[in-house]
A and B are shown apart, each in its own frame.
Chain A
Protein backbone atom coordinates (compact mmCIF):
# COMPACT_ATOMS: atom_id res chain seq x y z
CA UNK A 1 0.00 0.00 0.00
CA UNK A 2 1.12 3.55 -0.73
CA UNK A 3 0.30 5.89 2.13
CA UNK A 4 -0.06 9.42 0.85
CA UNK A 5 -0.29 12.49 3.04
CA UNK A 6 -1.64 15.67 1.45
CA UNK A 7 -1.10 18.97 3.27
CA UNK A 8 -4.27 21.05 3.06
CA UNK A 9 -4.06 24.64 1.90
CA UNK A 10 -6.81 26.85 3.29
CA UNK A 11 -7.54 30.35 4.54
CA UNK A 12 -8.93 29.27 7.90
CA UNK A 13 -12.45 28.87 6.52
CA UNK A 14 -12.27 27.30 3.09
CA UNK A 15 -10.20 24.47 1.69
CA UNK A 16 -8.31 25.61 -1.41
CA UNK A 17 -9.69 24.14 -4.65
CA UNK A 18 -6.19 22.86 -5.45
CA UNK A 19 -6.52 20.13 -2.81
CA UNK A 20 -9.22 18.18 -4.67
CA UNK A 21 -6.77 18.11 -7.60
CA UNK A 22 -3.96 16.85 -5.36
CA UNK A 23 -6.33 14.04 -4.34
CA UNK A 24 -6.75 13.07 -8.01
CA UNK A 25 -2.97 12.98 -8.40
CA UNK A 26 -2.61 10.83 -5.26
CA UNK A 27 -5.38 8.50 -6.45
CA UNK A 28 -3.49 7.91 -9.69
CA UNK A 29 -0.92 5.99 -7.62
CA UNK A 30 -1.65 2.26 -7.32
CA UNK A 31 -3.23 1.04 -4.03
CA UNK A 32 -3.19 4.51 -2.54
CA UNK A 33 -4.40 5.32 0.95
CA UNK A 34 -4.99 9.06 1.06
CA UNK A 35 -4.90 11.23 4.18
CA UNK A 36 -5.42 14.98 4.22
CA UNK A 37 -3.75 16.89 7.05
CA UNK A 38 -5.34 20.16 8.16
CA UNK A 39 -3.16 22.48 10.24
CA UNK A 40 -5.14 25.43 11.57
CA UNK A 41 -6.02 27.42 14.67
CA UNK A 42 -9.45 25.81 14.40
CA UNK A 43 -9.50 23.11 11.73
CA UNK A 44 -13.16 22.09 12.08
CA UNK A 45 -14.69 23.69 8.99
CA UNK A 46 -11.79 22.94 6.66
CA UNK A 47 -11.52 19.32 7.86
CA UNK A 48 -15.20 18.76 7.08
CA UNK A 49 -14.64 20.00 3.53
CA UNK A 50 -11.57 17.78 3.13
CA UNK A 51 -13.51 14.74 4.39
CA UNK A 52 -16.09 15.32 1.67
CA UNK A 53 -13.71 14.82 -1.25
CA UNK A 54 -14.11 11.45 -2.97
CA UNK A 55 -10.97 9.35 -2.68
CA UNK A 56 -9.94 10.67 0.71
CA UNK A 57 -9.59 7.86 3.27
CA UNK A 58 -8.91 9.87 6.40
CA UNK A 59 -8.49 13.44 7.58
CA UNK A 60 -6.10 14.40 10.37
CA UNK A 61 -6.36 17.74 12.12
CA UNK A 62 -3.70 19.59 14.05
CA UNK A 63 -5.14 22.51 16.00
CA UNK A 64 -2.63 25.07 17.27
CA UNK A 65 -2.81 28.85 17.69
CA UNK A 66 0.51 29.10 15.81
CA UNK A 67 -1.24 27.66 12.75
CA UNK A 68 -3.51 30.68 12.32
CA UNK A 69 -1.27 31.86 9.48
CA UNK A 70 0.47 29.48 7.11
CA UNK A 71 4.16 30.03 7.82
CA UNK A 72 6.45 27.39 6.34
CA UNK A 73 8.87 27.58 9.27
CA UNK A 74 6.05 26.83 11.73
CA UNK A 75 4.25 24.22 9.64
CA UNK A 76 7.24 22.24 8.36
CA UNK A 77 8.27 20.59 11.66
CA UNK A 78 4.64 19.59 12.25
CA UNK A 79 4.23 18.12 8.77
CA UNK A 80 7.56 16.31 9.11
CA UNK A 81 6.50 14.79 12.43
CA UNK A 82 3.16 13.68 11.02
CA UNK A 83 4.78 12.33 7.83
CA UNK A 84 6.45 9.35 9.52
CA UNK A 85 5.09 6.17 7.96
CA UNK A 86 3.87 7.86 4.77
CA UNK A 87 5.46 6.89 1.47
CA UNK A 88 4.48 10.17 -0.25
CA UNK A 89 3.91 13.67 1.10
CA UNK A 90 2.09 15.96 -1.33
CA UNK A 91 1.23 19.63 -1.43
CA UNK A 92 -0.19 21.81 -4.18
CA UNK A 93 2.16 23.66 -6.50
CA UNK A 94 0.79 26.99 -5.30
CA UNK A 95 2.89 29.57 -3.46
CA UNK A 96 1.76 27.86 -0.23
CA UNK A 97 3.04 24.45 -1.33
CA UNK A 98 6.15 25.79 -3.05
CA UNK A 99 7.13 27.59 0.15
CA UNK A 100 6.37 24.74 2.54
CA UNK A 101 7.12 21.41 0.89
CA UNK A 102 10.88 21.78 0.30
CA UNK A 103 11.29 22.74 3.96
CA UNK A 104 9.44 19.55 4.88
CA UNK A 105 11.56 17.50 2.46
CA UNK A 106 14.81 18.77 3.94
CA UNK A 107 13.63 17.99 7.49
CA UNK A 108 12.78 14.47 6.33
CA UNK A 109 15.99 14.13 4.30
CA UNK A 110 13.73 13.22 1.39
CA UNK A 111 14.01 14.26 -2.26
CA UNK A 112 11.28 16.48 -3.71
CA UNK A 113 9.67 16.44 -7.12
CA UNK A 114 8.19 19.82 -8.03
CA UNK A 115 5.17 20.29 -10.32
CA UNK A 116 4.17 16.66 -10.85
CA UNK A 117 2.01 16.64 -14.00
CA UNK A 118 1.49 12.90 -14.45
CA UNK A 119 1.80 9.73 -12.39
CA UNK A 120 3.25 6.63 -14.08
CA UNK A 121 3.62 4.58 -10.89
CA UNK A 122 4.30 5.06 -7.19
CA UNK A 123 7.95 5.73 -8.00
CA UNK A 124 7.76 7.24 -11.48
CA UNK A 125 6.39 10.67 -12.38
CA UNK A 126 6.51 13.27 -15.14
CA UNK A 127 7.21 16.96 -14.67
CA UNK A 128 7.96 19.98 -16.88
CA UNK A 129 11.38 21.65 -16.93
CA UNK A 130 12.83 24.60 -18.88
CA UNK A 131 9.55 26.53 -18.72
CA UNK A 132 7.71 23.54 -20.13
CA UNK A 133 10.04 23.16 -23.12
CA UNK A 134 10.82 19.63 -22.00
CA UNK A 135 9.01 17.00 -19.99
CA UNK A 136 11.16 14.71 -17.89
CA UNK A 137 10.21 11.30 -16.50
CA UNK A 138 11.79 10.86 -13.09
CA UNK A 139 12.15 7.77 -10.96
CA UNK A 140 12.95 7.39 -7.28
CA UNK A 141 14.22 4.15 -5.78
CA UNK A 142 11.45 2.01 -4.28
CA UNK A 143 11.22 2.59 -0.54
CA UNK A 144 12.41 6.21 -0.75
CA UNK A 145 10.02 8.58 0.96
CA UNK A 146 9.06 11.19 -1.64
CA UNK A 147 7.87 14.77 -1.23
CA UNK A 148 6.12 16.37 -4.19
CA UNK A 149 4.19 19.40 -5.26
CA UNK A 150 1.31 18.73 -7.62
CA UNK A 151 0.92 20.86 -10.74
CA UNK A 152 -2.76 21.44 -10.16
CA UNK A 153 -3.54 22.51 -13.74
CA UNK A 154 -2.70 18.95 -14.84
CA UNK A 155 -5.39 17.23 -12.76
CA UNK A 156 -9.18 17.34 -12.63
CA UNK A 157 -10.66 18.00 -9.21
CA UNK A 158 -11.85 14.88 -7.37
CA UNK A 159 -15.65 14.82 -6.99
CA UNK A 160 -17.64 15.10 -3.79
CA UNK A 161 -17.72 11.94 -1.68
CA UNK A 162 -20.87 9.90 -1.14
CA UNK A 163 -19.95 9.53 2.52
CA UNK A 164 -17.54 11.66 4.51
CA UNK A 165 -14.16 10.24 5.52
CA UNK A 166 -13.40 9.91 9.24
CA UNK A 167 -11.68 12.87 10.92
CA UNK A 168 -9.23 12.45 13.79
CA UNK A 169 -7.21 14.95 15.80
CA UNK A 170 -3.47 14.60 16.29
CA UNK A 171 -1.33 16.15 19.01
CA UNK A 172 2.24 16.77 18.02
CA UNK A 173 5.42 17.25 20.01
CA UNK A 174 7.33 19.34 17.45
CA UNK A 175 8.80 22.49 18.91
CA UNK A 176 7.59 25.50 16.95
CA UNK A 177 9.98 28.33 16.14
CA UNK A 178 9.16 31.97 16.89
CA UNK A 179 11.78 33.40 14.52
CA UNK A 180 9.27 33.94 11.71
CA UNK A 181 6.24 36.16 12.28
CA UNK A 182 3.25 36.99 10.10
CA UNK A 183 2.69 40.74 9.78
CA UNK A 184 -0.01 41.31 7.18
CA UNK A 185 -1.45 40.32 3.86
CA UNK A 186 -2.79 42.71 1.27
CA UNK A 187 -5.07 40.85 -1.06
CA UNK A 188 -7.02 42.72 -3.65
CA UNK A 189 -10.59 41.70 -2.88
CA UNK A 190 -12.58 41.22 -6.00
CA UNK A 191 -15.84 39.59 -6.93
CA UNK A 192 -14.25 38.14 -10.04
CA UNK A 193 -13.49 34.44 -10.22
CA UNK A 194 -10.13 33.15 -9.03
CA UNK A 195 -7.49 32.94 -11.78
CA UNK A 196 -6.49 29.36 -11.11
CA UNK A 197 -10.00 27.91 -10.99
CA UNK A 198 -11.88 30.19 -13.42
CA UNK A 199 -13.40 28.64 -16.53
CA UNK A 200 -12.61 31.79 -18.50
CA UNK A 201 -9.49 33.90 -18.19
CA UNK A 202 -8.67 37.04 -20.14
CA UNK A 203 -5.18 38.49 -19.90
CA UNK A 204 -3.54 41.72 -20.94
CA UNK A 205 0.04 42.57 -21.83
CA UNK A 206 2.38 45.50 -22.18
CA UNK A 207 0.26 46.80 -25.07
CA UNK A 208 -2.27 48.34 -22.66
CA UNK A 209 0.22 51.07 -21.84
CA UNK A 210 -1.27 52.13 -18.51
CA UNK A 211 -3.23 50.93 -15.49
CA UNK A 212 -6.18 53.06 -16.65
CA UNK A 213 -6.25 51.38 -20.04
CA UNK A 214 -6.04 48.00 -18.32
CA UNK A 215 -9.49 48.75 -16.86
CA UNK A 216 -10.90 48.04 -20.33
CA UNK A 217 -10.17 44.41 -19.66
CA UNK A 218 -12.10 44.37 -16.37
CA UNK A 219 -15.18 45.71 -18.11
CA UNK A 220 -15.00 42.87 -20.62
CA UNK A 221 -14.24 40.32 -17.89
CA UNK A 222 -17.37 41.33 -16.00
CA UNK A 223 -19.50 40.78 -19.08
CA UNK A 224 -17.93 37.35 -19.57
CA UNK A 225 -17.70 36.20 -15.94
CA UNK A 226 -13.96 35.84 -16.52
CA UNK A 227 -10.92 36.16 -14.28
CA UNK A 228 -8.26 38.69 -15.32
CA UNK A 229 -4.60 37.80 -15.77
CA UNK A 230 -1.53 39.63 -17.04
CA UNK A 231 1.87 39.12 -18.62
CA UNK A 232 5.00 39.83 -16.63
CA UNK A 233 5.55 42.99 -18.66
CA UNK A 234 2.13 44.31 -17.64
CA UNK A 235 2.78 43.51 -13.98
CA UNK A 236 6.31 44.97 -14.01
CA UNK A 237 4.94 48.16 -15.54
CA UNK A 238 2.37 48.42 -12.75
CA UNK A 239 -0.72 47.94 -14.91
CA UNK A 240 -1.76 44.84 -12.96
CA UNK A 241 -1.10 43.32 -9.51
CA UNK A 242 1.66 40.74 -9.05
CA UNK A 243 -0.82 38.00 -8.18
CA UNK A 244 -2.24 38.32 -11.71
CA UNK A 245 0.94 37.21 -13.49
CA UNK A 246 0.45 34.14 -15.63
CA UNK A 247 3.42 32.03 -16.69
CA UNK A 248 6.54 30.11 -15.70
CA UNK A 249 7.09 32.21 -12.63
CA UNK A 250 3.52 33.28 -12.04
CA UNK A 251 0.34 31.24 -12.10
CA UNK A 252 -0.43 28.27 -14.31
CA UNK A 253 -4.00 28.48 -15.58
CA UNK A 254 -6.15 25.82 -17.21
CA UNK A 255 -9.47 27.42 -18.14
CA UNK A 256 -11.92 26.40 -20.87
CA UNK A 257 -11.19 29.71 -22.56
CA UNK A 258 -8.04 31.85 -22.41
CA UNK A 259 -7.89 35.14 -24.27
CA UNK A 260 -4.59 37.05 -24.62
CA UNK A 261 -4.80 40.72 -25.52
CA UNK A 262 -1.60 42.46 -26.58
CA UNK A 263 0.64 39.66 -25.31
CA UNK A 264 3.48 38.62 -27.62
CA UNK A 265 3.66 35.00 -26.49
CA UNK A 266 7.09 34.64 -24.84
CA UNK A 267 7.85 31.05 -23.85
CA UNK A 268 7.66 32.04 -20.17
CA UNK A 269 4.09 33.19 -20.71
CA UNK A 270 3.02 30.28 -22.93
CA UNK A 271 3.99 27.67 -20.35
CA UNK A 272 1.33 29.10 -18.06
CA UNK A 273 -1.51 28.81 -20.60
CA UNK A 274 -0.84 25.61 -22.56
CA UNK A 275 -3.41 23.67 -20.54
CA UNK A 276 -6.24 25.97 -21.59
CA UNK A 277 -8.87 24.19 -23.69
CA UNK A 278 -9.25 27.07 -26.18
CA UNK A 279 -6.75 29.90 -26.64
CA UNK A 280 -7.65 33.15 -28.37
CA UNK A 281 -5.00 35.73 -29.29
CA UNK A 282 -5.61 39.35 -30.19
CA UNK A 283 -2.51 41.16 -31.36
CA UNK A 284 -1.77 43.86 -33.90
CA UNK A 285 1.34 42.03 -35.09
CA UNK A 286 0.41 39.13 -37.37
CA UNK A 287 3.85 37.60 -36.70
CA UNK A 288 3.48 37.50 -32.88
CA UNK A 289 4.43 34.02 -31.55
CA UNK A 290 1.21 33.86 -29.54
CA UNK A 291 -0.61 33.01 -32.78
CA UNK A 292 1.34 29.74 -33.02
CA UNK A 293 -0.56 28.34 -30.04
CA UNK A 294 -3.89 30.11 -30.57
CA UNK A 295 -7.01 28.24 -31.65
CA UNK A 296 -8.44 31.56 -32.82
CA UNK A 297 -6.33 34.50 -33.81
CA UNK A 298 -7.41 38.03 -34.59
CA UNK A 299 -4.98 40.63 -35.93
CA UNK A 300 -5.97 44.11 -34.86
CA UNK A 301 -5.85 46.92 -32.34
CA UNK A 302 -7.03 45.82 -28.92
CA UNK A 303 -8.25 49.33 -28.12
CA UNK A 304 -10.90 48.82 -30.79
CA UNK A 305 -11.47 45.12 -30.32
CA UNK A 306 -11.92 44.96 -26.52
CA UNK A 307 -14.88 47.42 -26.45
CA UNK A 308 -16.33 45.75 -29.52
CA UNK A 309 -16.19 42.31 -27.91
CA UNK A 310 -17.78 43.75 -24.80
CA UNK A 311 -20.66 45.13 -26.85
CA UNK A 312 -21.16 41.95 -28.90
CA UNK A 313 -21.06 39.68 -25.87
CA UNK A 314 -23.44 41.88 -23.88
CA UNK A 315 -25.83 42.03 -26.84
CA UNK A 316 -25.94 38.25 -27.15
CA UNK A 317 -27.13 37.69 -23.60
Chain B
Protein backbone atom coordinates (compact mmCIF):
# COMPACT_ATOMS: atom_id res chain seq x y z
CA UNK B 1 0.00 0.00 0.00
CA UNK B 2 1.22 3.50 -0.84
CA UNK B 3 1.49 5.04 2.56
CA UNK B 4 2.61 8.36 4.00
CA UNK B 5 3.87 8.68 7.56
CA UNK B 6 3.37 12.10 9.14
CA UNK B 7 4.98 13.36 12.34
CA UNK B 8 2.69 15.11 14.81
CA UNK B 9 4.38 16.79 17.77
CA UNK B 10 2.44 18.21 20.69
CA UNK B 11 3.84 21.66 21.50
CA UNK B 12 2.92 24.85 23.34
CA UNK B 13 0.60 26.78 21.02
CA UNK B 14 2.38 29.43 18.96
CA UNK B 15 0.20 32.19 20.42
CA UNK B 16 1.35 31.52 23.97
CA UNK B 17 4.00 33.85 25.37
CA UNK B 18 6.30 31.25 26.87
CA UNK B 19 7.85 32.07 30.23
CA UNK B 20 10.74 30.50 32.11
CA UNK B 21 9.97 29.04 35.55
CA UNK B 22 11.36 31.22 38.35
CA UNK B 23 13.61 28.37 39.53
CA UNK B 24 15.12 27.96 36.04
CA UNK B 25 14.21 24.28 35.70
CA UNK B 26 12.16 24.69 32.55
CA UNK B 27 9.38 26.74 31.00
CA UNK B 28 5.87 27.08 32.36
CA UNK B 29 3.57 24.58 30.63
CA UNK B 30 0.90 24.11 33.33
CA UNK B 31 -2.47 25.28 32.09
CA UNK B 32 -0.94 26.43 28.81
CA UNK B 33 -2.70 25.75 25.51
CA UNK B 34 -1.10 22.88 23.58
CA UNK B 35 -1.43 22.28 19.84
CA UNK B 36 -0.02 20.37 16.92
CA UNK B 37 3.32 21.90 15.92
CA UNK B 38 2.31 24.27 13.05
CA UNK B 39 4.87 22.75 10.67
CA UNK B 40 3.46 19.27 11.36
CA UNK B 41 -0.02 20.49 10.53
CA UNK B 42 1.39 21.60 7.18
CA UNK B 43 3.01 18.16 6.81
CA UNK B 44 -0.32 16.44 7.43
CA UNK B 45 -2.14 18.76 5.02
CA UNK B 46 0.41 17.95 2.30
CA UNK B 47 0.03 14.21 2.90
CA UNK B 48 -3.76 14.51 2.67
CA UNK B 49 -3.49 16.44 -0.60
CA UNK B 50 -1.15 13.83 -2.08
CA UNK B 51 -3.65 11.14 -1.08
CA UNK B 52 -6.58 13.14 -2.48
CA UNK B 53 -4.75 13.34 -5.82
CA UNK B 54 -4.70 9.54 -5.82
CA UNK B 55 -0.93 9.35 -5.36
CA UNK B 56 -1.11 7.68 -1.96
CA UNK B 57 -3.62 5.41 -0.28
CA UNK B 58 -3.12 5.83 3.43
CA UNK B 59 -1.96 8.60 5.76
CA UNK B 60 -0.65 7.55 9.16
CA UNK B 61 -0.11 10.15 11.89
CA UNK B 62 2.63 9.40 14.43
CA UNK B 63 3.27 11.13 17.72
CA UNK B 64 5.95 10.41 20.31
CA UNK B 65 5.46 11.57 23.88
CA UNK B 66 3.24 11.43 26.97
CA UNK B 67 -0.39 10.24 27.10
CA UNK B 68 -1.70 13.73 26.26
CA UNK B 69 -0.31 13.47 22.71
CA UNK B 70 -3.46 11.53 21.88
CA UNK B 71 -5.35 14.84 21.77
CA UNK B 72 -3.17 15.99 18.89
CA UNK B 73 -3.46 12.61 17.19
CA UNK B 74 -7.26 12.83 17.43
CA UNK B 75 -7.06 16.25 15.78
CA UNK B 76 -4.87 14.74 13.05
CA UNK B 77 -7.45 11.99 12.53
CA UNK B 78 -10.19 14.62 12.36
CA UNK B 79 -8.19 16.49 9.73
CA UNK B 80 -8.22 13.31 7.66
CA UNK B 81 -5.41 10.94 8.69
CA UNK B 82 -6.58 7.32 8.32
CA UNK B 83 -5.00 6.01 11.48
CA UNK B 84 -2.61 7.03 14.20
CA UNK B 85 0.30 5.56 16.10
CA UNK B 86 1.19 6.89 19.53
CA UNK B 87 4.64 5.97 20.79
CA UNK B 88 3.98 6.66 24.43
CA UNK B 89 6.80 7.74 26.71
CA UNK B 90 7.47 10.26 29.44
CA UNK B 91 11.20 10.23 28.69
CA UNK B 92 13.00 13.21 27.19
CA UNK B 93 13.04 12.54 23.45
CA UNK B 94 15.99 14.13 21.69
CA UNK B 95 15.84 14.43 17.89
CA UNK B 96 18.14 11.44 17.36
CA UNK B 97 15.85 9.24 19.51
CA UNK B 98 12.80 10.52 17.66
CA UNK B 99 14.50 9.70 14.36
CA UNK B 100 15.34 6.18 15.60
CA UNK B 101 11.72 5.63 16.62
CA UNK B 102 10.46 6.86 13.23
CA UNK B 103 12.99 4.65 11.46
CA UNK B 104 11.74 1.63 13.32
CA UNK B 105 8.15 2.50 12.34
CA UNK B 106 9.27 2.92 8.74
CA UNK B 107 10.64 -0.63 8.81
CA UNK B 108 7.16 -1.81 9.81
CA UNK B 109 5.07 0.46 7.63
CA UNK B 110 7.23 0.71 4.48
CA UNK B 111 5.92 4.15 3.50
CA UNK B 112 6.42 5.97 0.22
CA UNK B 113 7.04 9.22 2.07
CA UNK B 114 7.68 10.42 5.59
CA UNK B 115 6.66 14.05 5.97
CA UNK B 116 7.76 16.02 9.03
CA UNK B 117 7.73 19.67 10.02
CA UNK B 118 11.07 21.38 9.40
CA UNK B 119 11.25 22.30 13.07
CA UNK B 120 9.20 22.09 16.23
CA UNK B 121 8.41 25.49 17.68
CA UNK B 122 9.31 24.39 21.22
CA UNK B 123 12.93 23.24 20.97
CA UNK B 124 13.46 24.81 17.51
CA UNK B 125 15.92 22.00 16.71
CA UNK B 126 15.28 21.42 12.99
CA UNK B 127 16.94 17.98 13.05
CA UNK B 128 14.57 15.01 13.12
CA UNK B 129 13.69 14.75 9.42
CA UNK B 130 17.30 14.96 8.31
CA UNK B 131 18.37 12.39 10.92
CA UNK B 132 15.59 10.06 9.85
CA UNK B 133 16.67 10.32 6.21
CA UNK B 134 20.25 9.46 7.21
CA UNK B 135 19.24 6.43 9.28
CA UNK B 136 16.95 5.28 6.47
CA UNK B 137 19.64 5.89 3.81
CA UNK B 138 17.09 7.76 1.70
CA UNK B 139 16.81 11.26 0.18
CA UNK B 140 15.76 14.30 2.18
CA UNK B 141 14.01 17.36 0.80
CA UNK B 142 13.99 19.87 3.63
CA UNK B 143 12.17 23.22 3.93
CA UNK B 144 9.77 22.29 1.12
CA UNK B 145 7.52 24.97 -0.36
CA UNK B 146 6.29 22.86 -3.28
CA UNK B 147 6.06 19.08 -3.73
CA UNK B 148 5.22 17.21 -6.92
CA UNK B 149 5.03 13.45 -6.49
CA UNK B 150 5.65 11.24 -9.53
CA UNK B 151 5.66 7.47 -9.94
CA UNK B 152 9.18 6.80 -8.68
CA UNK B 153 10.48 10.23 -7.79
CA UNK B 154 9.36 13.61 -6.50
CA UNK B 155 10.33 17.14 -7.44
CA UNK B 156 10.59 19.46 -4.46
CA UNK B 157 11.13 23.21 -4.28
CA UNK B 158 13.00 24.24 -1.15
CA UNK B 159 13.21 27.60 0.61
CA UNK B 160 16.94 28.25 1.00
CA UNK B 161 18.85 31.37 2.02
CA UNK B 162 19.69 32.25 -1.58
CA UNK B 163 16.16 31.80 -2.93
CA UNK B 164 14.26 28.74 -4.14
CA UNK B 165 16.10 25.52 -4.93
CA UNK B 166 14.53 22.63 -6.84
CA UNK B 167 15.75 19.08 -6.35
CA UNK B 168 14.62 15.71 -7.60
CA UNK B 169 14.50 12.81 -5.14
CA UNK B 170 13.87 9.12 -5.66
CA UNK B 171 11.12 7.56 -3.55
CA UNK B 172 10.84 6.56 -0.79
CA UNK B 173 12.08 9.74 0.85
CA UNK B 174 11.76 12.21 3.70
CA UNK B 175 10.26 15.67 3.19
CA UNK B 176 10.26 18.45 5.78
CA UNK B 177 7.81 21.31 5.41
CA UNK B 178 8.24 25.05 5.33
CA UNK B 179 5.49 27.57 6.05
CA UNK B 180 4.42 28.29 2.51
CA UNK B 181 3.88 24.71 1.36
CA UNK B 182 0.14 24.92 1.99
CA UNK B 183 -2.52 26.26 4.30
CA UNK B 184 -3.87 23.50 6.55
CA UNK B 185 -7.62 22.84 6.47
CA UNK B 186 -9.92 23.51 9.38
CA UNK B 187 -11.43 20.61 11.23
CA UNK B 188 -15.22 20.32 11.02
CA UNK B 189 -17.36 19.05 13.85
CA UNK B 190 -18.62 15.88 12.10
CA UNK B 191 -14.98 14.97 11.37
CA UNK B 192 -14.20 15.13 15.07
CA UNK B 193 -16.98 12.63 15.71
CA UNK B 194 -15.74 10.35 12.92
CA UNK B 195 -12.18 10.58 14.19
CA UNK B 196 -13.20 8.93 17.45
CA UNK B 197 -13.78 5.69 15.54
CA UNK B 198 -10.49 5.70 13.65
CA UNK B 199 -7.74 3.37 14.88
CA UNK B 200 -5.12 4.74 17.26
CA UNK B 201 -2.45 2.26 18.28
CA UNK B 202 -0.24 2.76 21.29
CA UNK B 203 3.29 1.39 21.53
CA UNK B 204 6.23 2.06 23.75
CA UNK B 205 9.73 2.84 22.47
CA UNK B 206 11.04 -0.48 23.80
CA UNK B 207 8.59 -2.35 21.55
CA UNK B 208 10.34 -0.58 18.67
CA UNK B 209 13.75 -1.48 20.00
CA UNK B 210 14.68 2.08 20.96
CA UNK B 211 15.91 3.21 24.36
CA UNK B 212 15.73 7.01 24.36
CA UNK B 213 19.19 8.31 25.26
CA UNK B 214 19.58 11.64 27.02
CA UNK B 215 22.84 12.93 25.60
CA UNK B 216 22.05 16.63 25.84
CA UNK B 217 21.43 17.54 29.45
CA UNK B 218 19.57 20.82 30.03
CA UNK B 219 21.25 22.43 33.04
CA UNK B 220 19.23 25.60 33.34
CA UNK B 221 16.70 27.78 31.59
CA UNK B 222 16.83 31.57 31.61
CA UNK B 223 14.75 34.34 30.12
CA UNK B 224 16.50 36.14 27.25
CA UNK B 225 18.23 39.46 27.81
CA UNK B 226 15.61 42.19 27.61
CA UNK B 227 16.04 45.19 25.38
CA UNK B 228 15.28 48.38 27.21
CA UNK B 229 12.43 50.44 25.87
CA UNK B 230 13.65 53.36 23.82
CA UNK B 231 12.25 56.75 22.98
CA UNK B 232 9.41 57.91 20.77
CA UNK B 233 10.21 60.54 18.15
CA UNK B 234 7.56 62.87 16.76
CA UNK B 235 8.35 62.82 13.04
CA UNK B 236 10.65 61.64 10.27
CA UNK B 237 12.91 64.66 10.69
CA UNK B 238 13.55 63.93 14.36
CA UNK B 239 14.17 60.28 13.53
CA UNK B 240 16.74 61.07 10.85
CA UNK B 241 18.46 63.54 13.18
CA UNK B 242 18.69 60.88 15.91
CA UNK B 243 20.05 58.25 13.52
CA UNK B 244 22.50 60.71 12.04
CA UNK B 245 23.87 61.63 15.46
CA UNK B 246 24.68 57.94 15.95
CA UNK B 247 26.20 57.66 12.48
CA UNK B 248 23.56 55.16 11.39
CA UNK B 249 22.42 56.92 8.23
Residues of A near any B CB (own CB < 8 A): 11, 71-73, 76, 94-96, 98-107, 109-115, 124, 128-141, 144, 177, 179-188, 196, 200, 224, 232, 235-236, 241-243, 248-249, 251, 256-257, 267-268, 274, 278-280, 291-300, 305, 308-309, 312-313, 316
Contact = CB atoms under 8 A, between A and B. Distances in A.
Contacts of A297: 230-233
A184 B179 contact: no
Interface stretch (B61-69, B83-91, B134-142, B203-211): B134-142
Interface string B51-63: 0000000000000
A109 to B, nearest CB: 8
A100 B127 CA distance: 9
Given A137-B219, A242-B180, A106 B131 contact: yes
B217 A135 contact: no
Given A130-B18, A268-B14, A280-B243, A243 B163 contact: yes
Nearest to B219: A137
A81 B163 CA distance: 30
A76 B145 contact: no
A180 B249 contact: no
16 contacts: A105-B96, A107-B134, A130-B121, A136-B219, A137-B222, A139-B219, A182-B167, A186-B163, A186-B166, A242-B178, A295-B227, A296-B232, A296-B233, A296-B242, A299-B232, A313-B249
Nearest to B155: A183
A134 B29 CA distance: 13
Contact of A133 (B17, B178, B218): B17
B229 interface: yes
Contacts of B185: none
Contact of A232 (B164, B179, B218): B179
Contact of A274 (B224, B231, B232, B243): B224
A132 B12 CA distance: 14
Contacts of A251: 161
Nearest to A107: B134
Given A180-B170, A236-B180, A316-B244, 18 more contacts: A71-B167, A95-B160, A98-B143, A100-B130, A130-B12, A140-B217, A179-B138, A241-B163, A242-B159, A243-B161, A279-B230, A291-B229, A296-B242, A297-B233, A298-B232, A298-B239, A305-B236, A312-B237
B142 A248 contact: no
A204 B10 CA distance: 32
Nearest to B99: A106
Nearest to B241: A312
Contacts of B180: 235-236, 242
Contact of A76 (B134, B167, B234): B134
Q: Classify the interface of chain B: helix, strand, loop or mixed.
A: mixed
A204 to B, nearest CB: 16
Contacts of A196: 161
B187 interface: no
A76 B141 CA distance: 14
Most A-side CB within 10 Å, residue of B155, B158, B219: B219
A140 B215 contact: yes
B145 A242 contact: yes
Nearest to A255: B248
A73 B140 contact: yes
Contacts of B231: 295-297
B169 A180 contact: yes
Interface string B73-111: 000000000000000000000111001000000000000
A182 B161 CA distance: 16
Contacts of B230: 279, 294-297
B179 A308 contact: no
Given A132-B224, A308-B236, A105 B131 contact: yes
Contacts of B173: 179
Nearest to A130: B18
B239 A296 contact: yes
Given A180-B167, A305-B236, A309-B239, A293 B18 contact: no
A185 B179 contact: no
B160 A278 contact: no
